[in-house]
Structure 1
Amino acid sequence: MRIGLLQCDDVAPELRRVHGNYPEMFAALFEKVEPSLEFRTWRCMDGEIPDDIDAVDAWMTTGSKHGVNDGLPWVEELSDFVRRLWRAGKPLVGICFGHQLMAKALGGEVVKSERGWGVGMSFNRVTTRAAWMEPWQPGLDLIVSHQDQVETLPPRPWSWAAAISAPIT
């Protein structure tokens, strides 16, 4: 299986020396589960947006220090690409900034939290059970570090990401 990594930032230099950049981190993590996976990276934050939605079997986005509402040209180009993937039914996983990008690109609303930065653990309730969710659990704790948040989910129909609700506060 080929995974397309839509890289939206670089890991901070002091952390990169120890842990590598996003492509190396994801490859190392996934290799522990499935060593045969192949990764191809597009540096979206440098304007490198894929032109072929079939270049790989599934797509992932990384986090970013940038926000989806910062008015950066590459963010809108990547949003267009996300909409193309969605219309074609291609698998896409949005991580952190990528989750916010997906929500906004598909018609949701992303805003800065009135409470400022959220850092720590967040309990998330799973509201819909899908067949792939094994082992099943009604909720999960996630480590968070963000100031932007998805305020309104995209209108239906939308992806399985809707199965995980906003953090319970």
Structure 2
Amino acid sequence: MSRLLIVKTGDSYPDIARDHGDFETLFQQVLAGSPTAPSVRVFDATRATALPRLDDVDGLLITGSHAMVSHAEPWSEALKPWLVEARDRNIAMLGVCYGHQLMASAFGGASDFHPAGRESGTREVTLTEAGQQDPLLGSLPGTFRAHLSHAQTVIRAPAGACVLATNGHDPHQALRHGPRQWSVQFHPEFTEAVMRAYLGHQRDALRDQGEAAERLIADVGGTPEATGLLTRFALLAASQQAVASLS
């Protein structure tokens, strides 16, 4: 049984948290169906006064957030050397959205606002050749649908990072940063209802960049392959499986 720590990096909209669950709850709901039945704890990085010890952790799940990595908030900056230590210990990691951007920034890349604007809705993501061979993402079809909601992005991947998935909006939809350290821009934890609720909140921002929220809401669909990454990650964290190289 893997011992997973969810690193909570922010709060969802109050109505979404009330009706569907906050970021950490969405992860917990998916992981509850894992065949490994992982032990899951939550660490709220935005409110903590000290970082947790890594000795009794097999895997880290870093959530999304409404914060921006480039704003370099003190609690966020404090996570960076801790994530580097976790990577150096080869602790399994999966960063999602903000977590994806934070890991890239912590490991020597850069995250900032996407020059083409926001990417929201259920969109197609395509695996690279390396992604097709990856222990985590390789079980997915070559092209799959995933829920997305982000204004910032990884604008420069860290040296040595391997690009595992991409699409027309974002060349860094998934990265591997080490033998057991992954990050994804999309939200495997989102349900269809959560994705629709986010699009409802983003109507004005989407309209300002020439997109209609109602069309995107109508196009929201299931993302079972993307969601399955969370239980797959729990299995890999439990097995201590490593990738031989970053080829």
TM-score (norm 1): 0.87
Alignment-derived partner of residue 72 in structure 2: 71
Alignment-derived partner of residue 106 in structure 2: 105
CA gap of 1:131–1:69, structure 2 versus 1, over 3 A, is closer
CA positional deviation for 1:40: 0.9
- Find the aligned partners of 1:120 and 1:22 in 2 and give their Cα distance: 17
Structure 1 gap ranges (5+): none
- Find the aligned partners of 1:131 and 1:66 in 2 and give their Cα distance: 30
CA positional deviation for 1:42: 0.8
Residue 144 of structure 1: SS of its match in structure 2? Answer: strand
- Find the aligned partners of 1:64 and 1:131 in 2 and give their Cα distance: 27
Paired amino acid for 2:14: P
Instruction: Tell whether the 8 Å contact from 2:69 to 2:112 is kept in structure 1 after alignment.
Output: no
TM-score (norm 2): 0.61
Greater helix proportion: 2
Instruction: Tell whether the 8 Å contact from 2:123 to 2:148 is kept in structure 1 after alignment.
Output: yes
CA gap of 1:28–1:117, structure 2 versus 1, over 3 A, is same
CA gap of 1:33–1:106, structure 2 versus 1, over 3 A, is same
Paired amino acid for 1:168: G
Residue 56 of structure 1: SS of its match in structure 2? Answer: coil
Q: State the Cα deviation string for residues 81-139 of structure 1 (Å, max 9, x = none).
A: 11111111110100110000011110111121122222123332212112454535223
Paired amino acid for 2:7: L
Instruction: Tell whether the 8 Å contact from 2:4 to 2:41 is kept in structure 1 after alignment.
Output: yes
Alignment-derived partner of residue 30 in structure 2: 29
CA gap of 1:44–1:85, structure 2 versus 1, over 3 A, is same
What are the equivalent positions in structure 2 for 1:58-97 lying under 5 Å apart?
58-97=59-98
Residue 45 of structure 1: SS of its match in structure 2? Answer: coil
Which deviates the most, 48-57 or 85-94? 48-57
- Find the aligned partners of 1:61 and 1:136 in 2 and give their Cα distance: 21
Equivalences, count: 165
- Find the aligned partners of 1:132 and 1:145 in 2 and give their Cα distance: 22
Which deviates the most, 63-72 or 138-147? 138-147
Alignment-derived partner of residue 166 in structure 2: 166
- Find the aligned partners of 1:132 and 1:68 in 2 and give their Cα distance: 25
- Find the aligned partners of 2:90 and 2:75 in 1 and give their Cα distance: 22
Structure 2 gap ranges (5+): 170-247
Aligned mate of 1:139, from 132, 137, 143? 143
Residue 165 of structure 1: SS of its match in structure 2? Answer: strand
Instruction: Tell whether the 8 Å contact from 2:57 to 2:91 is kept in structure 1 after alignment.
Output: no
Q: State the Cα deviation string for residues 60-98 of structure 1 (Å, max 9, x = none).
A: 011000011112001111111111111111101001100
Residue 30 of structure 2: SS of its match in structure 1? Answer: helix
Instruction: Tell whether the 8 Å contact from 1:10 to 1:22 is kept in structure 2 after alignment.
Output: yes
CA positional deviation for 1:45: 1.1
Instruction: Tell whether the 8 Å contact from 1:42 to 1:49 is kept in structure 2 after alignment.
Output: no
Matched, 1:151 2:151: no
- Find the aligned partners of 1:49 and 1:62 in 2 and give their Cα distance: 18
Instruction: Tell whether the 8 Å contact from 2:83 to 2:103 is kept in structure 1 after alignment.
Output: yes
Q: CA RMSD in A?
A: 1.9
Alignment-derived partner of residue 117 in structure 1: 118
